[in-house]
Amino acid sequence: MADPILQISGLEVAVEDTPILRGVDLSVPQGEIHALMGPNGSGKSTLAYALSGHPRYEITGGTAIFDGMDLAEMGADERAQAGLFLAMQYPVEVPGVSVMNFLRSALEAVKGEEMGPREFVKLFDEKSRLLGFDRSFADRYLNEGFSGGEKKRHEILQMAMLEPRFAVLDETDSGLDVDALKVVAEGVNHLAGPDLGVLLITHYTRVLRYIEPDVVHVMFDGRIAQTGGPELADHLEEHGYAQFGAAEPAAAPGS
């Protein structure tokens, strides 16, 4: 087994002095896909934002070590430059900033060097074809007027272009129809490999039909309550989260 690129030990996180994470232990080796499941309010998105450096999410205890570096000592930009990527559950709209300009600025900020226009357009076109991203969206303002599926495809397009070492995908399947879900899953599967670790956060098991995890973790009440193989997701689909004290299904209605 590869060494963990992300090693979380006893992590505690508070939002405006309210404790949310209460001692999370989680280890993800490089090159593996780990699914993090759990009912609403269990702390899944809190973990994602704490790892990415959102200022409202304060690490109050424990450690989160990424590739040997303590994330608590790094700014959000430093984490991105080190190869940590977050795909948000609800991507924000940025009026006045085109998709192309945003991606080029992000790429140059992360890589620390300028990229010529011709080289950038070539890379953009290559990755857009890979993900089925409509090239006509390139000059539109970031996420403005995009459907849910288009926003999520753009998140994966960012990941493809930035080539991070570790990606946290926070409910990337949320709000997607089955066709958009398949396109996004194909993008993730294409990018996954020995040089990319993935923490796939989801409430429902549906996305795991298209992205097969190596390990499944269940979060409840701010802690990792159970860890197992892909078969754990099958168990959750059948029984939901009742055993952890939440009367919520793990299979989406009609899925």
In the chain the domains, ranked by start, together with CATH numbers, are 4-244 (3.40.50.300)
Mean predicted confidence (pLDDT) in 84-112: 89
Q: Can you give the pTM of this predicted structure? A: 0.91
Residue 2 has pLDDT above 70, yes or no: no
Instruction: Count CB atoms within 10 A of the CB of residue 68.
Output: 9
220-223 long-range Cβ contacts below 8 angstroms, 24+ apart: 220/38, 220/39, 220/42, 220/244, 220/245, 220/246, 221/22, 221/42, 221/43, 221/245, 222/19, 222/20, 222/21, 222/22, 222/23, 222/24, 222/42, 222/43, 222/46, 223/21, 223/22, 223/23, 223/24, 223/43
| Assigned token pair, 223 | 């802690």
At residue 129, the pLDDT reads: 85
At residue 232, the pLDDT reads: 96
At residue 240, the pLDDT reads: 92
At residue 146, the pLDDT reads: 86
Residue 164 has pLDDT above 90, yes or no: yes
Q: What is the pLDDT of residues 40-79, one digit of tens each?
A: 999 999 999 999 999 999 999 999 999 999 999 999 999 9
Instruction: Answer for the pair 180, 214: CB distance below 8 angstroms, yes or no.
Output: no
Residue 163 has pLDDT above 70, yes or no: yes
Q: What is the pLDDT of residues 101-150, one digit of tens each?
A: 999 999 999 888 888 889 999 999 998 887 777 888 888 988 888 888 88
Q: What is the pLDDT of residues 19-51, one digit of tens each?
A: 999 999 999 999 999 999 999 999 999 999 999
Residue 255 has pLDDT above 70, yes or no: no
- Comparison of pLDDT for 186 and 90, the residue scoring more: 186
Phi, psi of 182 (to 5 degrees): -65, -40
